[in-house]
Every structure is written in C-alpha cells, then in structure tokens.
Structure 1
Amino acid sequence: MKLLACDIGNNFVKIGLFNKNKLTKFFSERTENLTMSFLTDVKFDAVAISSVVPHATKFLENFFKKNFNITPFVINSNAKFNLQLDYETPETLGTDRICGAEGAFEIYCEKFQSNALKKNESIITIDLGTATTINVILPPNIFSGGVILPGVVMMSNLLNKNTEQLPNVSLKSYNSVIGKSTPSAIASGIVNSTIGAAARINDFLKREKGVKKIYIFLTGGNSAYFKKVISFEVYFVKDLVLRGIKSVYERNLK
C-alpha cells in the first residue's frame, strides 16, 4: 500500500509518499498558496493528515475527495496512538507534536527491536519550525508533554517589530555564544535560548526523573542549521513528523 502522509504547518505543507516503510517521494508547498499540482502523476492508495491549520485541512479533504475519490484520515485527539498521552488537555495538543513523538518512538523501536523504552531511558524530540516544540517520551511509552517557544524566525521578527533600533537578523549572524555586534548578539540569544531550553529538559530528566540515556531527535525547517551548533548527540530526521503520521495511520487500521 502507498500512503500519502501530509503535515500541514503554519508556513509549509510537507508531503511524503510511503511505499510500505520507505519514503519514496517528498514535496513541500507554502500553506497559504496550496495547489497540490505536483500530485498529477503520483500514485497512492490512502491519505493521512496532521494539521495545525484548520482551513488548509478542509482544502485538502475536499481536494482528495474531488480529485482522487479518497477520504483522508485526519489525525485528532480521538485517534489511537502507539504512545499513551499523559497530557491534561489532549484536545489542544498539536498533532504535529504527537506525530513527531510517534515518529521518534517508531525509530527507537525499530533500532532496538523493542516496543517500549527501558526504565532509565527517555526520548526528546525538538521540532524547529514556526514555533519550536520540545517534547518528552518517558518509559514505557508515555508522551509526557513538553515545551513550546517561539521559533527562531519569530524571535527575530518580534524583536525587530517591538523595538526601535534592533534589526531583523538571520542565523548567519551567529558566530559565538558572546555576540560582538548587535546582529550577532541577537542571533546568539535566539540560538542559545533554543539550545538552552533543550539542555534544561535534558538536565531535568537526568536529575529529577533518574534517566540515564536520552535519545534526542531533531527535525523541522531550521534543524539542519541547529544540528551543527548543538553540542550533545542528536538524530537528525527530516521526515520525523511524516513517519509519525504513517505510524498513527497504521495503528488506526488495526
């Protein structure tokens, strides 16, 4: 079976075609200008969607019904997950967060031929998109919540918009923890506050939860840059959320 996994984000829609467990095609299109024209010659049997943009979800549902006679499976809090949700408001949990965690958990299970984390292990996922989300999985398979903070572009835009003199900067301005110019100081603040949040969670799990081994998965639009500046070991997985969408879809077929 060929599955089309769709991750609808605030700025981009990322789409992966899976032939069984293998990602064979990848597409990306701006959320605000959706056309799906690249699917003209793509063959697939089913569609699964994770979305944080309701109007784009509706567009895709109608698109696939009209053009392919396929009703997509749209992931929400009522879906069956491989992870148990230890979250006070599951109805407000972004499906991109849980699908990223599902993708990381699937990779862990494949790597170690297991269906659960060991009692002294944990998984952290870091998704560097419009917002930066850091999520935690605890043994045996508990999605335990996480942290949400502004994404790197949003941080720069907010500083520029809400001050008289601070410029808008890119990550290219970062060259040291201690910035020697205003652009490099801003870039350092953005980079190191993001890394610091991940390091804080890493430290918390070891000190407060007795975790000995932490597997950290990095994904999202800005992750290629951050994998070069993060000092701790990470697994860089471009299609982490898409893999999670596939995993949740398969779980709900059973």
Structure 2
Amino acid sequence: MAGHDLVPRHVPPPELLAAQFAATPSPVPRAVDDGGEAGPLVRRLLDLLDSLSPADAALARGCLPRCDSTFGAALALFLAATAEGCRGWLGPEVAAGLEDLDGGLLLDDCDRALAARFQPVDGRLWRLSRVPLLDSGESLLCAVGIEDGLSDRITLVLQARPQRLGPVQLMATLAGRRLDVTLRLATGLPSSALADLHETFRAALTDCRLDGALTVGPLADAWLGLDRPLSSDLAL
C-alpha cells in the first residue's frame, strides 16, 4: 500500500474530519488489556481511513481474513502484513496521514490490541493473538502452544463465531508427518457437508504426504479456556 498516497483531493475539510474523529465511538477501557478490542479498534481505524482515502481503506479491508474459502491465505497475509504493527500493515504514507490526526494514539491502541500475549492454561503456555475478521463483528483468537523445545509437536487453536455457524473451535496438532485436526461446533453440520469436509481433509493430507485424522464434534464442554469459558450457547 506504500504507493497509494493520501492525496489532498480525498481529505475532507479539517473541521469536518476533526468532528468525525471525535464522534467515532471509542472502545470501553478494560482493567486488563487482553486484545479483545482488536475488532472494534481496527474497524474504527478503517472507518477513519475511509474518510481520508477510500482507495487505501479498500486495500486495507481486502487484507483482513474472512470466513470463506480464502480464509487460510487471508489469515497468513494479515499476520505477515501486521508483523510490524498497524504501521507496517497500512504502509508509511497512510500511517503518517493517520498520525497527523491524533499523534498516532489510535495506531498505538491497535498495535496493543493486535499484539500477542502469553497465557498459561492447564499447565501449558499459549501464545495468543486477536485477528479482526472482515465479515464479522468479532475477532479470531489464534493460540499456539509453546512446547519445551524438545518436542517436534506444534498445536494451533483457532476460536471464532461465524454468523452462520455460531461458536467454532479448531485445534490442529502437527507432530512429525502426522496432522490431527479436531473441529468443534455449536451446531451440527449436514451429512453431505460433513462428508465433503472429510474428503477434502483426506485429499489435503495426500497432497502434503501426511498422515492424520479429522474429528468433528460438539463444542460444549470442550473449550480450552484460552480466553474465557465457552459453551454452545455463549458467544466469544
């Protein structure tokens, strides 16, 4: 996005822009910042950017993960783009235009909300990150299990609440050449969709020359407690 400058013809009058910035709702402060405000903060930033440059706002929104067939690639793109924080995601020219409005306070808040944190659960340390989703008012919680350095096992947990499915948890464990995936949902899947899911998973394992198994089951009583307890009738 570095080549897309915030050109003057996109910028409203200063008094109108200042009024809009002041009127944009701020997230409610939390006693402990656990990254739960990542979604609202990023949406506020994108709405403000839309006033400055709709083209840059569209490019930024296009980088957000969405719950569709491109989810994995979009998630990888967003994590790579935000490796250096919001400024790295937006690019220096766009970030500079936003910083002129409030001295960079909103960008700093977004950096803190998106930053990874560490949390012990059941005697194991997890690295947690919040990722806003384009088509949801919630965020995706990404958790990676931290091993002792002697194991070749990697465990990834994704927790979200897509509008059509409700709360969903996916746990993937890779150990050597074996990949085991457990998908837990608050609502059941049609038998045809379940069969397609298993077939797609088997095909993916074959393409990658991996062994493994896919398990699909109910969400209730299976939550890891990485963020807070979740049952089939409680949203993230």
Q: TM-score, normalised by structure 1?
A: 0.27
Query: Higher relative contact order at CA 8 Å, sep ≥6: structure 1 or structure 2?
Result: 1
Larger-Rg structure? 2
Q: TM-score, normalised by structure 2?
A: 0.28
